[in-house]
């Protein structure tokens, strides 16, 4: 496909996603929470973490004050207008995410059509769900991708700003920061921390310094300390923690306060939750440390400098590993978080498409990921969800990234 045809195809795809707002804006479940919270803020309320601040005890506001402070202007608009604007912002976020990845490989020769087709098939269910729910995760992921892309090109200040916004809205991207410690990018790391602190101080303009400080403390108690309630009543947890609990404990879904309890039991044992959680914490710590060691070892073996790798394929693959680890070990990974798999899938495809085993594995994962959501029946889809098919998709990609990194020196170099 020539550059002209490729540009036309991309423009048509963006226009199609934007037009699909006719369908998506009817059921923006998560956006409705943001909008209700914004309206509450505009009415003068400042009790952000009260159950009735948004849409009830389950569909409550769970972000730091910065997000609602930044989102509030959109709440001035009527809901249909605000919903359309939000959908278009999410469409732009998809374009930004794809462009951030594609630009890093623009000077390399690789099988673009096949790699991006496989990547599309792997992640399309997660992007569709994120658009359907109107979750801010699409925007956060796009900001994270753009920040990482800029960081790899040495543009520290804009990279730090984008990463800081992503971390402030959803804390999980902070798990990417150890990469900059391992690669000794201390200036960038310092900028991220400074800008993140500044962003969290910004709502003091409205809430006052003491009020903002108290809200951050309440957020910590509500979201971090009180996470158990949301994990039990929110989306099915697709991290290692959630999978271990569903497999080795007797999960009582009837305790979900919203009545959404028709999930099949898939456990093969009935261990205590505390025992399983200890296993998760130990495994998560080992995986995170192991991932950082593999990143360090692969950089050292490649002969790259301490400041940056000389081959963009290596650095994107290293970051892809950390993205997979982030999704795997995090305390709560919902299905929409898996849009971040786009980065590692493309990274593996670019590096190892000519490796027969890796290529077949990628194609197999793509078929599994894209085909399973098409199986008919709500009961079947719920069974697949609690059985962890999406967890195993992300696990397979994690394994492929790690395998490709370990075989880095045996892979052909780009022309």
pLDDT tens for 133-180 read 999 999 999 999 999 999 998 899 999 999 999 999 998 899 899 999
* Nearest residue to 24 via CA among 120, 100, 138: 138
Q: Distance (Å, rounded) from C-alpha 252 to C-alpha 129? A: 26
106-110, 298-302, 394-398, range with the lowest pLDDT:
298-302
Query: How many Cβ atoms from other residues are within 10 Å of residue 245's Cβ?
Result: 21
Q: What is the C-alpha separation between 323 and 278, in angstroms, rounded? A: 23
Note the pLDDT tens digit of each residue in 152-161. Answer: 988 999 999 9
Residue 399 CB neighbour total at 10 angstroms: 13
Model confidence pLDDT, tens digit, residues 73-128:
999 999 999 999 999 899 999 999 999 999 999 878 888 889 999 999 999 999 99
Alpha-carbon span 67 to 185, nearest angstrom:
28
């Amino acid at each position: 496909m020539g550059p002209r045809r490729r540009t036309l195809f991309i423009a048509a795809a963006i226009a199609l996603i934007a037009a699909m707002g006719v369908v998506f804006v009817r059921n923006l479940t998560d956006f409705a929470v943001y909008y209700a919270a914004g309206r509450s803020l505009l009415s003068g309320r400042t009790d952000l973490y009260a159950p009735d601040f948004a849409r009830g005890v389950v569909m409550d506001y769970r972000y730091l004050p910065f997000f609602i402070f930044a989102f509030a202007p959109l709440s001035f608009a009527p809901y249909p207008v605000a919903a359309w604007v939000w959908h278009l912002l999410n469409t732009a976020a998809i374009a930004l995410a794809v462009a951030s990845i594609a630009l890093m490989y623009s000077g390399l020769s690789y099988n673009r059509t096949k790699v991006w087709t496989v990547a599309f098939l792997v992640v399309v269910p997660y992007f569709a769900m994120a658009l359907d729910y109107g979750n801010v995760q699409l925007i956060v992921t796009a900001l994270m991708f753009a920040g990482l892309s800029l960081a790899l090109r040495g543009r520290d200040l804009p990279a730090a700003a984008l990463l800081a916004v992503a971390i402030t809205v959803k804390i999980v991207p902070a798990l990417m920061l150890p990469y900059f410690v391992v690669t000794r990018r201390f200036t960038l790391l310092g900028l991220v921390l400074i800008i993140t602190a500044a962003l969290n101080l910004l709502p003091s303009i409205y809430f006052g310094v003491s009020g903002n400080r108290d809200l951050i403390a309440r957020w910590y108690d509500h979201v971090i300390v009180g996470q158990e309630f949301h994990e039990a009543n929110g989306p099915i947890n697709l991290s290692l923690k959630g999978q271990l609990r569903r497999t080795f404990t007797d999960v009582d879904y009837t305790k979900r306060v919203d009545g959404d309890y028709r999930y099949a039991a898939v456990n093969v044992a009935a261990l205590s939750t505390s025992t399983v959680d200890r296993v998760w914490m130990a495994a998560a710590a080992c995986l995170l440390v192991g991932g950082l060691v593999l990143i360090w070892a692969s950089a050292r073996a490649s002969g790259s400098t301490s400041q940056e790798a000389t081959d963009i394929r290596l650095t994107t693959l290293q970051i892809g590993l950390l993205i997979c680890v982030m999704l795997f070990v995090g305390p709560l990974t919902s299905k929409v978080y898996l849009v971040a798999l786009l980065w590692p899938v493309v990274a593996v495809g670019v590096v190892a498409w000519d490796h027969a085993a890796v290529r077949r594995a990628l194609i197999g994962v793509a078929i599994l990921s894209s085909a399973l959501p098409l199986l008919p029946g709500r009961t079947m889809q719920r069974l697949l969800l609690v059985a962890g098919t999406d967890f195993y998709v992300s696990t397979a990609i994690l394994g492929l990234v790690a395998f490709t990194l370990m075989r880095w020196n045996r892979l052909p170099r780009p022309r």
